[in-house]
Structure 1
Amino acid sequence: MLDVSVDTVELPLRTPLRTAWGTLRTRSILVLTIVGSDGVVGRGEAAPLEPYDGVPFPAVAAALEQYAEILRRSRGRSGAGLVDACRDAVDLPQALAAVDMALWDRAGRREGRPVAALLTDRAAASVPVNATIGADDPDAAARAAAAAVEAGFDTVKVKVGVGDDLARLQAIRAAIGDRLALRLDANGAWSVDEAVARIEELATVGLELVEEPVHGVPQLREVRERVPVRIAMDETAALPGAVGAGAADAICLKVSRGGGIGALTVQAALIRAVGGEPYLASTYDGPLGIAAAVHVAAALGVETPCGLATLDAFDLPMPAALLPVDGRIAVPPGPGLGVDGPLG
């Protein structure tokens, strides 16, 4: 018999984040806690973001309540069997991710090993991450870029498709020099022709890659064929068959959107099978979501900097183990996901 509870947590951002899909000021997440008859606890996180992924928070909360009843009635089922039972009731990846995460966390705590060590015996000790700059003003963006250099990051990611992108990127490049890679994230703000024109213009500052310049597999493939910059798929990865379509040089995976840790390892294998490069990011997830992504990235041996250095954007204390040091986040050494406390 499992004891199950679901709690809502509000995480205010220090500074509003402006993107092509809107402005984010507060992040709402759901934390699922599972306690077995053995007393071992497992926690998982559901982090829908409707303006970004189109999934309403109330729908995920309702799904988790249904899952909670299924989990409470479970007897003798494996972790995979429990996830399948929940999926049969409501197939909602953002909610399933919380169940999957909590079960992996509990399994690791029960065995006294980190989740990454459950996934592979060759997990990396840490994961490279990028800094993210959301400032609208070129001067503010330059100051943030200089801070990223000082903090030891190798890659800076900038939201584009809002405001004067070229002026901000020129200011950022002036601040970081040639030492750091510059990555753009358009969140599908452009049409194909707009994307080609904008990327050709912005490429003058030197770009590592552009995430989701357009939405859709055919659209991404066309942009990729027409520009001299690597293209990454992000939001489009949620479409059926998109991950294995070979339409992008790299694909950004997310634990919440993918349905959990187990599902992400399968997706990463498919991406590599068709010649793509997987890396992970968050949609400003909480500590449990970030920890889960770090464990997966370490187990997969991901070398592309991941978008997981986002916890310091919140105006609340966060687990020090999940904050970047010299552009990397170490795998939490504790059992399970390695995250404790009220937010984890």
Structure 2
Amino acid sequence: MITAQQIRDVYEKASSEFAASASYRHLLGGQADADEVRDFIRNVFLTHYLSSHIVALCFASLPSDAASLLKENLLEEMGRSEAEKPHSALLLELARGAGFSEQEIQGLIADARQQVAIFCAVRVPLPTLRELCLAVLLETVSFEFMLSRCSGPIAAALLSHYALPKRALQWFELHSEVDIRHAEEGLQVVLDYLNFHQITDSSFEHILHATFRGNVFSRRYFPPTSRVVARRSATATAPRHIESIAIYQLRIPFRQTFSHAQQSREESDAVIVRVNDPEGIVGYGEALPRSYVTGETTASMVAHVSEQLAPRIFSQAFTSGWQTFEYMQSSLSDWTRSQDQTAGVIAWNAAFCSVELALLDWALRRQDAALSDFLQPIRREVVYSGVVSAETPREAAAIAKRFKDFGMRQIKVKVGTGEDVTRLQAVRKAVGEDVELRADANGAWSAAEAVEQLKLLRPFNLKAIEQPVGANDFEGLRRVRNETGIPVMADESLVTIEQARRLIELRACDFFNIRISKCGGVTGSLAMAKLAREAGIKIQVGAQVGETGILSATGRTLAAHLSDLAFAEGSFGTWLLSEDIVFDNVAFGYGGAAPLLSTRGLSVAVNEESLERLATKKIELHR
């Protein structure tokens, strides 16, 4: 049974880690520049401006005794009299004191509203509303706990080091006083919630882990977009050898069948690679081989990792941090080259991806860094598209309508399997004209067929047609682009760097669909993105159907980093998978929105028990 002391220990640990963090000490030590201080104030504002809405949600979910404890907190947030201003008003004074203009403040308010929607929506894949409210309650109470300890020193630093006027610091000063009481009351509120809603200990532990992954306070106050990235120049630790490699072949059932012109799937066939060093530090990678894309099958990929790549890994000493990525960059061409293309393998990109991600995860964890520290994000969230598989027109329309009702404004529909016109017609009718539609034929047509079919699909105002012709028909892609006027996206035609250059040379497409597993990991994906940017080609960061949280998290970081991003797909998580192998919730929330991920390594924690249980085969290799 969960006790108050267990919860207090979690809050104490998170608060202590925050107070010891480099970003916090940098601010309190007077070393932050003006832009960093503004970033900090902005993030505090975004986190707390609409806190009364969050507290109200918690209040509504509590039993009556616990609700009475939280009622006082809610009234204080809202302001009980003219003498006691709403906390939102105090935050407005803080923003003005930090030099934000009224126009900038209106932008902050708009961003704060969006932040609240994301705050709750990203938790939607939790099984029921009671779990969602528990996650929100845990984080809400944790901030009261931390602020009772840290808001006083923060206010003092802002006053003495950065010359913010004292009147602007009332919000911090208030929380240093009242949150001591609220923090202790909050522990009882959480316990009452657990008892009333009969939350099991295992469910509580799962939600607690997901809520406090990394450090929740650093994630809100010092997110990657506002953090000065100094880790590139950090002193590297001594090189280490990888002592063991484990390869897992998974079978994770889908919640529903997913079909397109090349394949119909009812389960994920992801391959996971785990690397270990002598100190017990672990890294995880993932790939999903596709015979009709790179030529790799699950069996051939696993054999290639075991027989070709593992010996190379064992022979090399790797350094923590970004140096490992630079080594993988130099190895990409050699490690992915297919020596005998008559065997059908275009490139060993999935095999490379699985080991590259595992080594990156390991190297970043050794340096206590996140992938987003190096692939610096230019957006605070990634908005994903809905994808409708090749269903009957009626089923496709129903799925598309659910996406629209969930706030999504970009939907891709699979075509090339018959009934394309009827399917698109039904989908367009279901979602209306305010939703953008794309279509994906997965190479089902010849160039002539594609031109004719797309004439019939023109009334549905497609924003792009993805891979209308076979993977090797580069001239066909160009013909479709020139004759239909519909923007063309290359997918199966985009596996190697040489293919990327060929597509650019022929002006055969408007978009590259960069899928990390298909394109050779982060290394290959960034190389293709660079070519695309130089050629003026927009990018979709795509996904293999059935990715677990490992690839989803990596794709999120890549999508947040790329300046030429047009669309993002993936991060379906347990919307599609019956269960995931990571503790973290990687699934997109309302509107397709999903926040940045910035904890250690690739920013997800693998559930070893789930990984072992879902594996149909495991190979262990040792140095």
Fold shared by both chains (TM-score > 0.5): yes
- Counterparts in 2 of 1:56 and 1:273: CA distance versus 1, 3 Å: same
Partner of 2:302: 61
Partners of 2:514 and 2:541 within 8 A in 1: yes
Partner of 1:258: 519
- 1:202 is the counterpart of 2:457: yes
Displacement of 1:287: 1.9
- 1:113 is the counterpart of 2:339: no
- 1:286 is the counterpart of 2:548: yes
Of the three residues 397, 413, 416, the one matched with 1:158 is 413
In structure 2, how many angstroms separate the alpha carbons of the residues matched to 1:86 and 1:304?
Answer: 26
Of the three residues 327, 340, 343, the one matched with 2:605 is 340
Displacement of 1:223: 0.7
In structure 2, how many angstroms separate the alpha carbons of the residues matched to 1:76 and 1:26?
Answer: 35
Superposed CA deviations along residues 226-284 of structure 1, whole A, max 9, x for unmatched, are: 01211111100125633132310111011111111022111101011111112211121
Partner of 1:323: 587
Superposed CA deviations along residues 194-232 of structure 1, whole A, max 9, x for unmatched, are: 111111111211111110111222111111000121111
- Matches for 1:62-141 after TM superposition, within 5 Å: 62-66=303-307, 67-76=309-318, 78-79=323-324, 80-81=326-327, 88=334, 91=337, 92-120=348-376, 122-141=377-396
In structure 2, how many angstroms separate the alpha carbons of the residues matched to 1:335 and 1:51?
Answer: 34
Displacement of 1:318: 6.4
Higher mean C-alpha deviation, range 29-38 or range 314-323: 314-323
Displacement of 1:11: 1.9
Residue type at the aligned position of 1:322: V
In structure 1, how many angstroms separate the alpha carbons of the residues matched to 2:497 and 2:360?
Answer: 25
Higher mean C-alpha deviation, range 188-197 or range 319-328: 319-328
Partners of 2:416 and 2:441 within 8 A in 1: yes
- Counterparts in 2 of 1:144 and 1:65: CA distance versus 1, 3 Å: same
Higher mean C-alpha deviation, range 141-150 or range 324-333: 324-333
Q: Which has the higher helix share?
A: 2
Partner of 1:249: 510
In structure 2, how many angstroms separate the alpha carbons of the residues matched to 1:87 and 1:63?
Answer: 15
Displacement of 1:302: 4.6
Residue type at the aligned position of 1:35: N
In structure 1, how many angstroms separate the alpha carbons of the residues matched to 2:553 and 2:523?
Answer: 14
Partner of 2:572: 310
Partner of 2:191: none
Partner of 2:475: 218
Higher mean C-alpha deviation, range 85-94 or range 32-41: 85-94
Identity score, percent: 24
- 1:179 is the counterpart of 2:428: no
Partner of 1:21: 262
In structure 2, how many angstroms separate the alpha carbons of the residues matched to 1:28 and 1:164?
Answer: 29
Partners of 1:117 and 1:299 within 8 A in 2: no
In structure 1, how many angstroms separate the alpha carbons of the residues matched to 2:354 and 2:580?
Answer: 22
Partner of 2:231: none
- 1:237 is the counterpart of 2:494: yes
1:112 counterpart SS class: coil
Higher mean C-alpha deviation, range 267-276 or range 29-38: 29-38
Q: How many residue pairs were aligned? A: 343
2:379 counterpart SS class: coil
Structural RMSD (CA):
2.2
Partners of 1:142 and 1:172 within 8 A in 2: yes
- Matches for 1:292-303 after TM superposition, within 5 Å: 292-303=554-565
TM-score normalised by L of structure 2: 0.52
Superposed CA deviations along residues 292-316 of structure 1, whole A, max 9, x for unmatched, are: 1111111113542212143322222
Higher mean C-alpha deviation, range 3-12 or range 267-276: 3-12
Q: Which has the higher strand share?
A: 1
Displacement of 1:104: 1.9
- Counterparts in 2 of 1:85 and 1:208: CA distance versus 1, 3 Å: closer
Displacement of 1:84: 5.2
In structure 1, how many angstroms separate the alpha carbons of the residues matched to 2:585 and 2:597?
Answer: 6
Partner of 1:227: 484
- Matches for 1:21-40 after TM superposition, within 5 Å: 21-40=262-281
- Counterparts in 2 of 1:184 and 1:15: CA distance versus 1, 3 Å: same
Partner of 1:188: 443
In structure 2, how many angstroms separate the alpha carbons of the residues matched to 1:269 and 1:85?
Answer: 18
Displacement of 1:23: 1.4
Structure 1 unaligned residues grouped into runs of 5+ = none
In structure 1, how many angstroms separate the alpha carbons of the residues matched to 2:369 and 2:483?
Answer: 47
In structure 2, how many angstroms separate the alpha carbons of the residues matched to 1:271 and 1:300?
Answer: 11
In structure 2, how many angstroms separate the alpha carbons of the residues matched to 1:228 and 1:199?
Answer: 10
In structure 2, how many angstroms separate the alpha carbons of the residues matched to 1:331 and 1:137?
Answer: 35
Larger Rg: 2
In structure 2, how many angstroms separate the alpha carbons of the residues matched to 1:203 and 1:161?
Answer: 15
Displacement of 1:15: 2.0
Partner of 1:149: 404
